[in-house]
Each structure stands twice: as C-alpha cells, then as structure tokens.
Structure 1
Amino acid sequence: MNLLVLLQAVEPTVEIAGQAAQNVPEESYLSLVMKGGWILLPIFLLSLVAIYVIINKWLVISRLGRKDSVWLSRVVELVHDGKIEKALKFCVERPYASAKIIAAGLKEYDKEESEIQEAMEIEARQQVSVLENQMNWLGITASIAPMLGFLGTIFGVIKIFYDIALANDIAIDTISTGLYQKMICSGAGLLVGIVAYTGYYLLNGRIDKVVISVDKESNEVLKAIRASKRNNGL
C-alpha cells in the first residue's frame, strides 16, 4: 500500500520533468558555438591562418621536393660527357629545389671545387628558407589558440561569479548554462591548436625528407663534376 502511494506521488513529478525536457529547444551546433563569445573571433582567425599555411606549404613542398630520377640521371650523364651548358639548361627548366642548387654549382663549373660547393651551399640555404617560410605561424597558432580558449573560459567564470555576487543567489541553471557556453572557447582553442600542431610536425617531417634528398642529389652531381673535370684535365 505504501509503495503504491509512493509511486502515485512520484508519477506527476516524472511527467512534469518529461514535459520540461520536451519544451527545451534543441540547438544547432552553429548556434551553440556562437555562444562562446567574442574570444572565438581571434581563434577563428588563427584557424584560417593554420589551414592556409598547411595547404600552401604542402603544395610548395610537393613542388620543390619532387623526386625525378630520370631528370637526375640525365643531368649526371650530361655532366659526365662535359655538356655543362645542356645540363645547366636542363636544371633551369625544372622547378625542383635540387635543380636550383645543382644549377648554382654548374654555373661555377670553371672555378675551384670549393667555390662550386660554396655556391651550392648558398643556394641550398635559400631553398631551405623557402621551404621553412611561414612555418612559424603554425607554431604560434599551436601555442596561442589553446591559451585564448582557456582565457575565454576564465573570463566566463569570472562573469558568472560576478553575477552571483550581484544577485546574491546561486541558481544551478545559471551556473551550468554559463559554464557550458564558456567551455566552448576552450574546446575551440584546443581543436585549432591540435590542427596547427599536427600540421607543423607533419610539414617539418616532409621538409627534412626533402633536405636529405636534395643533399644526396647534389652530392651525386658534385661527384660527376669532379669526374668530368678530371677527364678534361681541369
């Protein structure tokens, strides 16, 4: 009997809670994100910067670091045969980083080997600089975006406690609503930071591979230059 009375008493409460849950409007992800506040604007701008740099650097690295074994074999063959002008023209026609470095060395073919190496090293530094250009923006974004998100959350928490102090009343719905809205900042900042951090290390890995490949190809041509000059008595 007591159990039946208890169930009858609880049933209206459950029905009211269910009706209240049904009356709560379902929000879209966009409207939810927009409640993060003004701090989302710099985070959004940083996300655009990160995406642009990642795409741009990926294309640049793909163009400058492309491997072409047929082209390299042809250049080495021409240098061995003493056809330096043809080999130089063959290099100038290619957009590869290794082609530009080898071309810089071929232009100094008639000089001492140390001068040829120096010319190639100078051009190699310039090509590495081109490959690494804009990478600092990814590092900055990976560091700043999460901090901005955390800062937005801190501002939100401060505002919540300030409102509580003014109203002298703690309402759980006010606290929870304010918190979930401000935690959006932290989530957005972390997401942008993860994208920038991942892109930074992936691109750096590709740059390292390009540098190793360029160094190997340059050494092959340098050996061919030595052999050519030896054969020609230079």
Structure 2
Amino acid sequence: MAGGWAMLPILICSAVALAIVLERCWTLRRKSVLPEGLGDEVRQWARTGQLDPAHLQALSEGSPLGQLLAAALSVRNRPREQIKERIEDTGRHVVHRMERYLNTLGTIALIGPLLGLLGTVIGLIRMFMQVMAGGMADPTKMAGGIGEALICTATGLIVAIPAYVLHRYFRSKVAGYCVAMEQQATLLLDELTAAPAAAPRARRAAAAAEQGAG
C-alpha cells in the first residue's frame, strides 16, 4: 500500500511470472523432453519393423522427442527429402510448444521496471502537488514521501531481474533441447534411408552369386 496503486500491476506481474516459471520448470524437465535411450529404442523399432500404429501413437504422445521421431516414422516409406521436410515441420510445432509462455515472461521482465518508474513518477507528482497547494511542507514528510514513491521502482526491479534471468535460462534450455532432438532425428533419418538403399545392393549381390554358381 505504501507504493500506491501502481503496486497492483507489479504484484500481478510477479504472480504471473512465478506461475510461468513453475510450469516451465516442470514441463522442460530433461526426462520429459528427451527420455533417456528413446532414440536408440526407436531406431531398433525401425530395424525390426515394430512400427504399428499403436507404437507410433504412444511414441508421439510420450514426449516432444517422441513426437518428432514418430513424425519421421509415419512417412518412413517416402524419399529422404520428404521425410526431412516432415521432421522440420513437426520440429517447428514442437519448439513452439516448448517456448510457450516465454514471451510473456520476457514481457514481464521488460515492463516491470517501467511500471515501477511510473508509480514513482506519479507519487512524486502527487507529493509536489500537495506542496504547491499547502506551501512549504515538512522536509521529514517530503523525505518519507519520496521513499514511498521509490518503493515502486524497487519492487519493479525485484520482479523484473529474476524474470529476465529465468527467461534467458529457459531460452537457452530450449535451444539445447533443439540441438539434441535434431541429432536424434538425423540418426533416425539415416537409419530409415539407409535400409532401402541397402536392399537393391543386397539383391544384386545375391543375383551375382547365383550367376557365379551357375
């Protein structure tokens, strides 16, 4: 209350920022985004042909990495360029979901100090208007009024600084996940496109062996 009405939007921003941070901490856990050993398991599925719709559905719903790999497997019989294009399209959607609410957190980091400064300016204007209306005021009261006005600025900075740091942290975390998922998707793409290319060579080798035996 000492900071005036401008404290209300700052406190709302702090509550929203806290909710976003807790939600992103839970959602962006590594084991939720990049389950351990999932890439190796999916490539084994591709080798053994365990690619029925139930497997793909469970894979897609399990994690962001699983969704990306399932998208590649769903078009595994198409040319490499088409599989790669599907991976890229799905990857954009996956990254968008991982970055959910981060723009809001960045906005809070930006406007927090501005809201604090606004409250300070309004408080100082109100104090000087009172001085103009009543003549010279008590210096002690003026100092107290300035202190109360600066509360808004301090509170805005207290909200904005952690919000900015955590915004950068989550951005960096998502970028790291994107690199890891791209690596796993490339390995699966190589696995899917190597098998069809190897089949004709195997058939030609078998035919040559039969001719040699004949």
* TM tier, smaller: 0.7 to 0.9
Question: Hey, what does 2:98 align to over in structure 1?
Answer: 131
Root mean square deviation, CA, Å: 2.1
Q: Does 1:57 align with 2:24?
A: yes
Matched position secondary structure for 2:28: helix
Shift of 1:74: 1.8
Aligned equivalents of 1:233 and 1:80: distance in 2? 17
1:171-205 CA-partner distances (Å, limit 9, x unpaired): 11110110111111011001111121011001001
Instruction: Give 1:214's aligned amino acid.
Output: M
Q: Does 1:66 align with 2:51?
A: no
Match for residue 198 of structure 1 among 154, 165, 172 = 165
Q: Does 1:77 align with 2:44?
A: yes
Aligned equivalents of 1:189 and 1:133: distance in 2? 23
Matched position secondary structure for 2:175: helix
Instruction: Give 1:199's aligned amino acid.
Output: L
CA gap of 1:111–1:89, structure 2 versus 1, over 3 A, is same
Aligned equivalents of 1:45 and 1:175: distance in 2? 29
Matched position secondary structure for 2:52: helix
Aligned equivalents of 1:206 and 1:179: distance in 2? 41
Runs of 4+ in 1 over 6 A off after TM superposition: none
Match for residue 71 of structure 2 among 100, 104, 108 = 104
CA gap of 1:227–1:80, structure 2 versus 1, over 3 A, is farther
TM-score normalised by structure 2 residue count: 0.86
Instruction: Give 2:105's aligned amino acid.
Output: L
Correspondence list, 1:152-167, <5 A? 152-167=119-134
**Which residues of structure 2 form unaligned runs of 5+?**
202-214
1:103-124 CA-partner distances (Å, limit 9, x unpaired): 0111111111111111111111
Q: Does 1:228 align with 2:203?
A: no
TM-score normalised by structure 1 residue count: 0.79
Q: Does 1:146 align with 2:96?
A: no
Instruction: Give 2:77's aligned amino acid.
Output: D
Shift of 1:51: 0.8
Mark the structure with the bigger radius of gyration: 1
**Which residues of structure 1 form unaligned runs of 5+?**
1-33
Aligned equivalents of 1:64 and 1:75: distance in 2? 16
Match for residue 181 of structure 2 among 204, 214, 228 = 214
Shift of 1:87: 9.8
Q: Does 1:187 align with 2:141?
A: no
Aligned equivalents of 1:139 and 1:233: distance in 2? 54
Percent sequence identity over matched residues? 23
1:88-144 CA-partner distances (Å, limit 9, x unpaired): 548626622111111011111111111111111111110001011211101110111
Aligned equivalents of 1:117 and 1:77: distance in 2? 19
Aligned equivalents of 2:179 and 2:35: distance in 1? 12
Matched position secondary structure for 2:146: helix
